[in-house]
Amino acid sequence: MGIQINGTNDTISAVDGSLDIQGLNTPNGFIVTNKTTTQRDALTSVSNGTIIYNTTNKRVEVYDGSTWVGVERGGYIEATGGLISEYDSAGTKYRAHIFQSSGEFRVHNTSPVYNTVDVLLVGGGGGGGAQHGGGGGGGGMKEFPSYRINPGVYKVIVGAGGAGGMGVPAPANPVAIPGEPSSFGNDLRVSGGGAGGKYGDSGGQPGGSGGGGGSDEDNNANPGGSGNIAGYSPVEGYAGGLGRYAGGGGGGAGGNGSDVSPISPYGIADGGNGGNGSPSSYTGTSVVYAGGGGGGTHSPSAPNFATGPLGGSGGGGRGGKGSGGPDTPGAMGNNPPDGPSAG
């Protein structure tokens, strides 16, 4: 059985179970079927392993049984570490390495063409202040696109969240603890979130996002902590809100924490809402990270008055609720845990 190439009848032969085309009269090369993306997507009953040249994307593509995968030039990156998740975008497969605890990103192989990764870092969130204190600031969040890598080991540190303050009934931890920084290798780092201020003339701490200002018995303003202490552009986070008779909201990676408005002393005051987090698609799906915590509500004459101010989108917890009795924690945020990823 023969085929015609360049006007000459040649025979395709099988050698050791493989197709031998070296002997064919093809001085200008061997051409696979050309298709535009529209023509490719209109194909039906496509067999696994079908090869085309996509004239729209200008690359060879192979059908893997579910999608068309580009055959890229210049090799690939081989790496291990973290929770590995693969996803497809515009016919190209990507692999994300997601770390929710500290570990190592091991690069086994790179190439002259493929030698960069996109890195997302999220620091640990700050703790909320004691006794209707300020909300904790979200951990700093930053994308580092096209970071150059070489074969070797990159240490990944996932910053822990800070503990909240506790003033009643036992003042064992009156001051909240800031979140810890996260880092990738020796070069990339983001700050932990600032802790919220506690009751009584206490401002929020600075951090990746700042903690909310604490409450004040005389309704004076306690400032929120500043965000973006690393000085990044774009910023890694925003400032916490002003506290007055209740705690200000903690700042988030996507916006400031809310201020508390002045009220008459000894009234009921809601804390400020936490600042929203910021989205990233580095894991293949858009996820919001690093929301700020809500400030604590002050309700001296109505125990458990409210559910507590809202935490910012992206993991920010609700503010505490309660009266002059023991501190009552609010509900936790239900977004995925913060942590670095490399993809």
Are the C-beta atoms of residues 158 and 99 closer than 8 Å to each other?
Answer: yes
Report the pLDDT value the prediction gives residue 255, as an integer from 0 to 100. 96
Tens digit of each residue's pLDDT (9 = 90 or more) over 238-279: 999 999 988 999 999 999 999 998 876 666 788 899 999 999
E-strand stretches of the chain: 2-5, 8-11, 13-15, 18-20, 34-35, 51-54, 59-63, 68-71, 78-80, 83-89, 92-98, 103-109, 116-122, 141-148, 152-157, 182-184, 188-190, 278-280, 287-289, 341-342
State pLDDT tens for residues 52-97. Answer: 988 987 878 888 888 887 776 666 788 999 999 988 887 788 899 9
Torsion of CA 185, 186, 187, 193, to 10 degrees: 80
Q: Model confidence at 102, in pLDDT bands (50, 70, 90)?
A: very high
* In the predicted structure, residue 193 carries a pLDDT above the cut 80: yes
Q: Under 8 Å CB-to-CB from 92, ≥6 apart: which residues?
A: 69, 70, 72
Q: Which residues does residue 13 pair with via DSSP β-bridges, in sequence order?
A: 20
Report CA-CA distances (Å) from 204 to 162, 243, 244, 283, 290. 13, 9, 12, 32, 17
Q: Please choose, from the candidates 302, 260, 298, the residue with its C-alpha nearest in 3D space to the C-alpha of residue 167.
A: 298
Mean pLDDT of 319-324: 42
Cα(308)–Cα(330) distance, integer angstroms = 6
* Minimum mean pLDDT range among 42-51, 191-200, 270-279, 317-326: 317-326
pLDDT of residue 2: 38
